[in-house]
Amino acid sequence: MIKLQKQTKLHGPENGVKGNCYTACIASIVGRPIADFAEFEEAYGLWADSCEEEEPDYKLRTKYIEVLGRMGWIALTIDPGFSWNPHGLVPFGYSIASGPGPRGFDHSCVACNGVVIFDPHPSNDNLVSIDYYEVIHPALFVPDAHGENPDDKPGQGG
């Protein structure tokens, strides 16, 4: 299932380019071409832009999570430093590890059992440290969970 892929856009704020390391990690873990995630990448980029502001726009985070859900996937965040995780538990299997990168920007890499195994950036410099992990898991739309009709949610359940 996993198909490791390098990012196709390198972060360059001086020319307005947002890197797509996070999208490359998702595409790698689910084994689909990075081009399949264009709508997600656009939504995620807007969220990332808002994080650089004083107050992130959480509606934008909801949007990128919604786009990922329509594709049949869900991202679950695991932060080893949260008070509910005093033992520093890390995800079993493949995940996305995110934190500061060596170029001074936030960065994401593919991890397995809490250890970075692949950097989508061409430098292969990995991360300075890991702030959190995200597990990408198949999602299934359950119509009765929120009283909704599955016909109203095309594309979910991937």
Q: What is the mean pLDDT of residues 27-44?
A: 84
Residue 60's pLDDT band, with cuts at 50, 70 and 90, is low
Q: Is the pLDDT of residue 152 over 70?
A: no
Mean pLDDT of the chain: 81
Place of tokens 């300075």: 128
Please answer whether residues 137 and 154 qualify as being in contact, where contact means their C-beta atoms are separated by less than 8 angstroms: no
Name the more confident of 132 and 63. Answer: 132
What is 66-103 written as a DSSP string?
HHHHHTTEEEEEE-TTSTT-TT----SSEEEEEEE-TT
Map out the domains of the chain as residue ranges. 13-140
pLDDT digit string (tens) for 75-119? 888 876 666 556 677 888 999 999 999 988 889 999 999 999 999
Instruction: Spell 22-35 as b/e; 16+ CB within 10 A means b.
Output: bbbbbbbbbebebe
pLDDT per position as a tens digit, 68-78: 888 888 888 88
Residue 98's DSSP bridge partners are 108, 132
Q: Is the pLDDT of residue 158 over 80?
A: no
Domain 13-140 sits in CATH 3.90.70? yes
pLDDT reading at 143 higher than 70: no
Residue of 155, 142, 135, 7 lying closest to 67 (CA atoms): 155
